[in-house]
Structure 1
Amino acid sequence: MSQTDLLTRLKQIRALVLDVDGVLTDGRLHFTEQGEEHKVFHSRDGHGIKLAQKIGIEVSIISGRASPALRHRAENLGIRHCMIGIKDKGPALEELARTLDVELQAIAVMGDDVIDLPMLNRAGVSATVADAPAAIRARVDWVTTLGGGQGAVREFIDLLIDARDAWSTVIADHQ
């Protein structure tokens, strides 16, 4: 898809759905000796999510793993729809679209592995991270230059902001 076509489609996006492990994180799983899971999130991704919300994009999460750390991060960022422990992500995306009253074509999805394909295939715009498997990178509309957990979500959100020509809105409070 050409950059012009991508930007045209991105202008129609009203919701962004993110996978977590491998997208918002680098995909590594950290456990304490007591079995408590730790996740590391990039601050630029979090700030990007806030910017997306500021320009009217509903950001949601659909994750295959359940984690208290993820739930806490979602609440911290004001993400109202956080579906965790989801094994079949295609129907979950359809359910979320109905909840948000948004057509699938108006949803962008960012995932990084085969479990994400059912939602990537249904989305209006699909994206993945630079370090996703080649089979995933070949099946999406856009691939970031950054890896998962390294600011890739912010990179995609910046593209959404570009498509909407919304930088003046985004930086208005920071001048």
Structure 2
Amino acid sequence: MTSSPASSLSATERASRVRLMIFDIDGVLTDGGLMFTAEGDTMKSFNSMDGHGAKLLREAGIDTAIITGRKSGIVAVRAQELRIKHLYQGIEHKMIAFQQLLNETGIAPEECGYMGDDWPDLAVMLRVGFAAAPANSHPEVIARAHWVSKARGGHGAVREVCDTLMRAQHRYDALLQAACEG
């Protein structure tokens, strides 16, 4: 079997082409744990450094999106706080939301990145140009990812992938310098 030029790209080359980075929630932006109140409301814990990484992506000119299987008011609040304008919740088949996102943004699949951790993420991960996974993802997801973080989901994996994207696109140093200058 011969490989196409796209399949031989390194993770850094793939990251350099990303214009839209898409994230799953449970196990990626959170540690995957679900806490429920007595009333049945779901609570989630988010990492502030992951959130800052998502904000930095926007400053670097990379758009962000969330596609998640669960529906939660907490996720809507977090997405609004991070100014993530593309939010798809309660999505059973993530490819449907992914196609809607492509239609809405006009961005090609190879210009998208996706970070997921479990089987429901695989269909989208196999179609984007840059597939990423937290360190504690399911082994089948890790086997199909172009890039795997050292950090676990909800514990810096998102920040790590954001830094990787910014470095690959040569925007990291300028953003760091701006932060140092205040």
Same fold (TM over 0.5): yes
2:107 pairs, out of 80, 92, 102, with 102
Q: How does 1:41-60 map to 2 (within 5 A)?
A: 41-60=46-65
Scaled by the length of structure 1, what TM-score is found? Answer: 0.95
2:171 pairs, out of 147, 166, 173, with 166
Amino acid at match of 1:58: D
Over aligned residue pairs, what C-alpha RMSD do you find?
Answer: 1.5
Amino acid at match of 2:123: P
Residue aligned with 1:170, SS: helix
Paired-residue identity, % = 37
2:71 pairs, out of 36, 57, 66, with 66
1:18 pairs, out of 11, 23, 39, with 23
**Does structure 2 retain, via aligned residues, the 8 Å contact 1:90–1:122?**
no
Amino acid at match of 2:128: A
Runs of 4+ displaced beyond 2 Å: none
Counterpart CA distance in 2 for 1:17 and 1:167 is 19
Q: How far off its partner does 1:61 sit?
A: 0.2
Counterpart CA distance in 1 for 2:80 and 2:163 is 22
Counterpart CA distance in 2 for 1:94 and 1:74 is 20
Q: Does 1:40 align with 2:45?
A: yes
Which moved further from structure 2: 163-172 or 10-19? 163-172
Q: How far off its partner does 1:169 sit?
A: 2.8
Gaps of 5+ in 2: 1-5
Q: How far off its partner does 1:107 sit?
A: 0.1
Q: Deviations over 1:79-117 (max 9, x none)?
A: 001000001011211210111110000000000000011
Q: How far off its partner does 1:136 sit?
A: 1.1
Scaled by the length of structure 2, what TM-score is found? Answer: 0.92
Q: Does 1:134 align with 2:132?
A: no
